[in-house]
Each structure stands twice: as C-alpha cells, then as structure tokens.
Amino acid sequence: MMRFDLLAGGALGLALATPATAQSLQDRATASPASAPVATPAAPADNDQVQFSAATLEYDYNADIVTATGEVRMTREGDRLRADKVTWNRKTGRVLATGNVAVTNPEGDVAYGESIELTDSLKDGVVDDLLVVLEQGGRLAAVRGVREPNGVLQLDRAVYSPCPVTDANGCPREPTWKITSVRVVYRPARQRLYFEGARFHLFGLTSPSLPRFSAPVSATNDTGLLTPSFGLTRLNGAELVVPVNFALGPNQSLVVAPHLFSSELPMMEARYSGLNELGAYSIRGFATSSRRSGDLSSGFTTQSERAFRGYLDGAGRFQFDPNWSMSGSLRLVTDRTFLRRYDISNEDRLRTNLSIERIDTDSYLSIAGWAVQTLRVGDLQGMQPVALPEIDYRRRVPDALLGGTVQLQLNSLALSRKEGQDTQRAFGSLRWDWRGITVLGQEVTLTAFGRADAYNSQDVAATAVASYRGIEGFQTRLIGALAADMRWPFVGELFGGFQRFTPRVQLVATPRTRNIQVPNEDARAVDLEDSNLFALNRFAGYDRWEDSSRVTYGADWALDLSGVSISANIGQSYRLNTRESILPDGTGLSDRFSDIVGRTNIRVGDLVTFTHRYRLDKSNLAVRRNEIDATVGTRRTYATIGYLRLNRNIDRLEDLQDREELRAGGRLAFARFWSVWGSAIVDLTDRSEDVLSTSNGFSPIRHRVGVAYQDDCVDLGLTWKRDYRNVGDARSGNSYLLTLSFKNLGR
C-alpha cells in the first residue's frame, strides 16, 4: 500500500512529459556473491571476522594494506561481497572494491556497482552507479548510494520499478511503470521505500511531482492509501473510491473506503478482517442516505423517499481441533434495491447462517441455524423461514452386517415464519449397502432403507400451494425401501482408443408412504435429471418420498482417444404399481413410464468442452429440458455459451415454472498483454412458457464489455455494463468502471 506523509497531495494526474533522468535498471555483467567464500587463508576465530578468497593476494606490511585481485569474495556475518579487485586498509578499516562489484545483505538484496567503498564490517559504505536487485523482485538504480550500518540505503537520483526489464526473448525493455525520485530511502527491516521529489511514469506518461510518500516492496499490512478506483453510473454519476488501510496489527486490518459520487450523497464502506491461530474472519459494511422506493412486495413502484441505507456482509471460519469447527456468515441489507442500485450484488436472496461441525472418518455432526432475507419483487419477508436449530448427525459403520456398510442418520429441523407456516421435523434412518462383483463381472449393489419421521406444523393455511401444507398438528410417517442395482461394464478398442459400455438396471420396492399428510418444505423443486435417475428417492429433500416401486434402466458409454474424451448416459424408469403418483404432471415422473433423460460430455484437449443435458417426453419425444454449456478456446482467448430451456408445462407450482435463458461470454487476446472481453444474459421466456413472465421472448437482463491490459506488474481495465431492468430505484442504464492496480504499489 502507498502512504503519503505530506499535508498537500492531489490526484495522480498523468501528463505528457519527458521522463526524469534516472539510472538504468538493466542487469549488470556481474554475478551475485556466493553464499560462502571459495577458500580462506585461515579458519576464522568467530563470525565477527572477515572471510575472503581471491586468485592473488598481496600484503603491504608497512602500510598494513591487503590487496586481493581475481574473483575476490568476502563474507562477514551474512554480508557478502564479490569484486574483481579489493583493497583493504586494516588501519582505517576501509574496503575499496572495484570492477563488477556485487554486495548481498542478509535479507537477500543484491547491490551492483563499478566502485563501492565499505567499512570492513561490509555493512556500510558508499556506492557509485548503484543497482539494487531486491529479494522480492523489485529493482532500484541510483547515481550514488550510501549504506548505513543498520542496512538502510540512502539513494540519490534514483529510479524504482518491480516490473520486468527484459521481454520474452531476453532483450532489454522499458518497464511498464517506474518511479523516479530525487531521493529514496530503503529500509530492509521494514521492507519499505520512502520517496522524496518523485514522479510516476506509466506507459511513457509522466505525472507532476508527487508529495513525499512510501510504498512496500513486498506484501505487507501497513497503514496507508490503497489503489483508488473510478466509475460512472446513470443514477449516481461519477464515482471515486479512495480506500485507506489501517493496520491494527500483523494479523488485523481495517479498510475505510469513502465512495464519492457526483449525483448522490457519499457512501462509506468499511472492511475489517483478521486472522488468528483458530481461523479467519471478516466483515464489510456500507452506509449512506439516498432516495429509495417503498415496499416492493406488492409490485413495482415509482414512489421514493430519502432514508438511511446500508448493507452488512460478514464471514468467518474457525478450526478448534482436527474434528471440531465453526463457520458462519452474516448478510443483511436495509432494503431490496440497495445492492443493485450501488452495483454491489445482483443476488435476490441473502442468507445468514451459523454452523458448528464435527467431522471424523466415520461420523458427522452439524448444529446450524440460518435465516433468509428476500430481495425479490412480490415476495413477502414474513413468509421467509428461519431455521433454529437444524441438527444433523450421521454415523457410518463399514464392514458391518454381512460385510455391508451401515449408515445411521438422525436429523431435526425447526422452521418458523412471522406470517407463514411453522414446521418442526425429526427423523431417524438406517441404510445398509452391500457391493459385490459376480464371476461374470457384473457389479451388484443391494440396499435396504428404513426411516421414521415425526412432524408438527401450525398455520398451514398460510401456505398458498395446498400440496405443500400437510395436516396441521402432530403427524408421523414410516418409510421403507429395498433396492438392487446391477452394472455390467464392457471394455474394448474403438478408433484407436478404448470405449466402455455399461448397461445398468435398478429395481426399487417401496410401500405406500404418507406424503400429503406432512408439510413439504425442502422437496418442492423436483425434476427428473440424469443425476437423480437412479437415486433411491428422486425428490431433492426429506419431506417427500417417492413411494412407487419401479425399475430403472439405462446405459453409460465412454470413449477415450488421444486428446479426446467422450462420455454419455441415457435412461428411463417404469413404475410397477398403478396407484396415483404424488408427482405433478410435467416433472417427467407422473406417469408409469418416466421421461427419457441423458447427458453428453465432449472434451478435446484443453480447447473444447461441451456438455448437453436433456429430457425427452416419453410419449412424443418433445424436448422438456434442453441445457447446453460449451467453451471453446484457451485461457487467453475463448468463447463460452450456456443455454437452458425448461418446457415442463407446469403453471400451478411456484417452484416448477418454465423458463428459457441464454448466457454468452468470451475473451479475445489481440496482443501479448491486451484483451477484450464480454458477457451477456438474455431472458428468452415468454408468457406461453410462464404466465408470470414479463419477458417478451427476448429480454436482455445485463451485459458487460471491457478491454484489459495485464502484465507482470500492472492491471488496467475499462468495463461497460448495462442493466436492462427497473426494480424500484435500481433503474436500467449504463455504468462504466476504470480499474488500475500496480504490483507493490497499493493492494
């Protein structure tokens, strides 16, 4: 981080000017000193004596002067020197080194020069035409330098840069940015540089003279100014963020960042973070006053009022011992549009949670609580649940009954709402799995499962969807299932590679289960997918159990070639009993034959990745789910696209609405360090797919386009973002952001 010490300052305005005269930062034709001398005339009595070696050695007894020539090396208490010639006056203690001189301090910094005058301690002296290569990678060059006994360097007419001074071919190049200064003080103990009369040079542009400031040469936690950022939005106008770090200790810091707007009142941001022997934690807060829309739960509104607005975002994790840990997050906002208005987040729900966990090889215990704050238009906050507590315990016993694995689970959950249904749930379950290989190579898995549930619910009439309510009061339920699963893999050669074809059949038997009598809090968004086709229960949560005996069949196929891999699966299930299913039409599971689901993955080296997931109607093969994710290119130049269409024809359940969406993005590197990039999200849903949709079939949600420059010591970017939706005072419009950060200058 950068720290200014004078009262007067000003913005870092870059102007066209001639760079100040400074010394070269290029390498000198000198090797750094060895860590120990090659040879010594005699073994030193202690570390305070000077060890040295040379090709030739002359001693003037009358003047008491030692002259060493030819690969001279001297070492004393961690300080090392190498030179072509060294003259040591033992009476005065002065050491004059000439010719390809290099001096290394205990910290690893190397100083180069044609002539260096030192004392015999090798800790202080004067250097002409100095180049210092810092252990952290930065470089200092100066016309003259003085090294004090405590290791501090005083440099005159100096230049500093952490940037590379050679290109990819090893040829000299001008660093991307550098600082020229009349005077520079380097304090190795603090790992910090102090500049006086400095000018900043970026891409050949030179700033006016800067006030006195200091900067680190390595990652550090010091009090000082961090890199500012600039932006422009339609509602807030021009934005300048000036963060300042306050070091509260080596492991604690407080960053205060005023946000100054041209069209709105300022906003204050503060971030506190810390690290101790147990873990890490941080909390961030925003506070301002601006006009905001009223309650949006009844829909859009243009009315607004000035009020206090803010946001808290905290997270932490602590590991008490190898088994016990605690983690949590805090996320609270004053109103539904604050995060979008100030471009902090586009999330529509905020979750606060606290969890204590114990994990070992065969058991897991979690005691957690969480609360949800909705930011969605039309949602009532009073209907959002608070879970306190949620307790989950699991125990695995390997090689137990008949050589199988037994898993025990105990779970309890209490959900409460201010204006909605309250639910308490507890259950205990046992599961036994046995896996074996037959003589013909089939992989067989046998499963037995049993569970006992207890529910208690109040105010069930507040839940709008009747099938989610359950019966008010205390209810119990028993669940049981037996399953057998068989895979038969076949492996062979194909197209010069190897293919694997694995047919799979699963049989599940389960009796009728009381489902509608208990509430449904966690198993609402059910959908048949390739990931849950062979699951024992294809509902996502615990509150609903698929109580239909069934046979499921499918196949996996994979092909591995040189640089190419392809995998695919497909499957379907058939319900063995004729009783009515609790699964609604459109989920792909309501009839005796399920829909057909599958997935295809293709990977070509590191250049192409493609994933297609689908669900086909069992009656007419209509596409009910079509999801594509594809990426083509390298890390520097690539294009990515994501497409999702859910055509389930379900219009009576809020959790199973149809939608269609397109996501696209990419990056194009057009020079060694330059690139352009962009991303966009488009809502393709119309009212024929979702009666609640406000989209006309092609409604952009947001897009981002930017240009970036990134090398080893600077990141520069300009981003244009546009939001297309109005939500209260978070209006549609353009915003622009300029980012500029420097290695070892700011953070």
The average pLDDT across 630-644 equals 94
The 10s digit of each residue's pLDDT in 228-270 is 889 998 888 999 999 999 989 888 999 999 999 999 999 999 9
The average pLDDT across 91-114 equals 83
- The counts of H helices and E strands in the chain are 1, 43
Contact by Cβ (8 Å): 504, 556: yes
The 10s digit of each residue's pLDDT in 566-607 is 999 999 999 998 888 888 788 888 889 999 999 999 999 989
Residues paired with residue 324 on neighbouring β-strands, in sequence order = 358
Q: What average pLDDT does the structure give for the chain?
A: 86
- How far apart are alpha carbons 182 and 187 in whole angstroms? 17
- How far apart are alpha carbons 543 and 385 in whole angstroms? 16
Contact by Cβ (8 Å): 215, 134: no
Q: Which of 196-210, 295-309, 357-371 has the highest mean pLDDT?
A: 357-371
Residue spans of the domains in the chain: they are 51-222
Examine the pLDDT at 714 and tell me if it is beyond 50: yes
Confidence of residue 302 (pLDDT cuts 50, 70, 90): low
Cα-only R_g, the chain: 35
The average pLDDT across 296-307 equals 62
The 10s digit of each residue's pLDDT in 396-426 is 999 888 889 999 999 999 999 999 999 999 9
Residue 126: which residues within 8 A CB-CB, separation 6 or more? 116, 117, 144, 145, 146, 147
The average pLDDT across 196-215 equals 88
- Give the SS3 label for residue 725: coil
pLDDT of residue 96: 87
Vertex 734 angle, CA 729 and 738, to 5°: 115
For a pLDDT cut of 90, what percent of the chain falls above it? 50
Examine the pLDDT at 712 and tell me if it is beyond 50: yes
The pairing of strands 65-76 and 205-206 is unpaired
The 10s digit of each residue's pLDDT in 679-707 is 999 998 877 766 556 667 788 989 999 99
What is the CATH code of the structural domain delimited by 51-222?
2.60.450.10
Contact by Cβ (8 Å): 335, 309: yes
